[in-house]
Chains A and B, each alone.
Chain A
């Protein structure tokens, strides 16, 4: 039995420290998904915490045959989609976002690199904000998690055909938006 399976089993029995190990193991993928979906570091942090709380509450309903990461991402995706729908806005003003979260990198970049990175990051988040919540989740799962169509379908409760359509539509929307942006126009 793997460490993860042990932790899940112990956490199901009420061992919170075992659940804490699961939080450490999956905090980056969960937080990144929330950040890509919500486009805001503070909201992403709150959403990631809520995802873990919901996971702990519903741990007994988790099917061990399914990948734990996929199950967690499903909870996070649905939570973020609901949150976006309640928010009823499609654009988050990134100018207000003072703190871009740390990236997974070991090199210490110079100021110019940091500026370029920040601009690219803002551009990516600005593009994602053009999409509907579910399309945004599909694109995020495809690009940041390398999920197959089948995995995206399972995570978002869609059919494979719907995933294909959503990815196609999302890409056309994003490409159209990029075309209007002089910095990225082809």
Chain B
């Protein structure tokens, strides 16, 4: 037996993974090799030292601290969700407030009449683009951001509906006057 092989077997012997026959072979080698005897002695001393080392006890505050960190993390998560909802609401309100201004600008710059004068082809192209954007949003929503995308689409729909009501009301007032 080579010393290198004997060294590997010593480690397994310490772990109780050698059969009787292998132990006999190793013992035979140890009885003839002083270097391996010395290594075996060192390994046994090491084994005794490590086996005697006890578990160390954690600080008593461990549970309290873990639970506090869990609680802080939940609070942070709730704050992010709340902030996102608040941000979306603010955007929706801003859109609502700016709607009359944007409508006025569109009228002033003759953009709307130009689109209308473009005829059915222009309208069809606009509808195609809008449809593609809608499908893209749905794919994104399905793949990774369903709740957030639903929230955004919902906010956008509410903003658009409110804008429509607002513009309609303004027009009715203008017509009356």
Contact = CB atoms under 8 A, between A and B. Distances in A.
Interface of A: 16, 19-20, 23-24, 27-32, 35-36, 44-45, 48-49, 52-53, 56, 100-105, 120-121, 123-124, 127, 139, 142-144, 149, 164, 167-168, 171-172, 174-176, 178-179, 184, 186
User: Which are the 3 A-B pairs with shortest beta-carbon distances?
Assistant: A31-B58, A175-B42, A168-B11
Contacts of B52: 120
A120 B49 contact: yes
Given A121-B53, A179-B42, A53 B11 contact: no
Given A171-B46, A178-B42, A27 B58 contact: yes
A28 B57 CA distance: 6
A171 B38 CA distance: 14
A127 B43 CA distance: 13
A35 B57 CA distance: 10
Contact of A23 (B11, B41, B67): B67
Given A27-B63, A53-B66, A53-B73, A174 B46 contact: yes
Interface of B: 7-8, 11-12, 14-15, 17, 38-39, 41-43, 45-46, 49-59, 62-63, 65-67, 69-71, 73
A105 B54 contact: yes
Contacts of A167: 11, 15
- Interface SS of chain B: helix
Contact of B8 (A121, A168, A179): A168
Contacts, number: 116
A175 B74 CA distance: 48
20 contacts: A16-B67, A16-B70, A27-B62, A31-B56, A32-B55, A36-B56, A45-B58, A56-B70, A101-B56, A101-B57, A102-B56, A103-B54, A103-B55, A143-B51, A143-B53, A149-B17, A168-B8, A171-B43, A176-B42, A178-B42
A184 B49 contact: yes
B15 A142 contact: yes
Given A45-B58, A178-B49, 17 more contacts: A16-B70, A30-B58, A32-B56, A32-B58, A35-B56, A48-B58, A52-B66, A53-B70, A102-B57, A104-B54, A120-B49, A124-B49, A127-B46, A164-B12, A167-B11, A176-B42, A184-B49
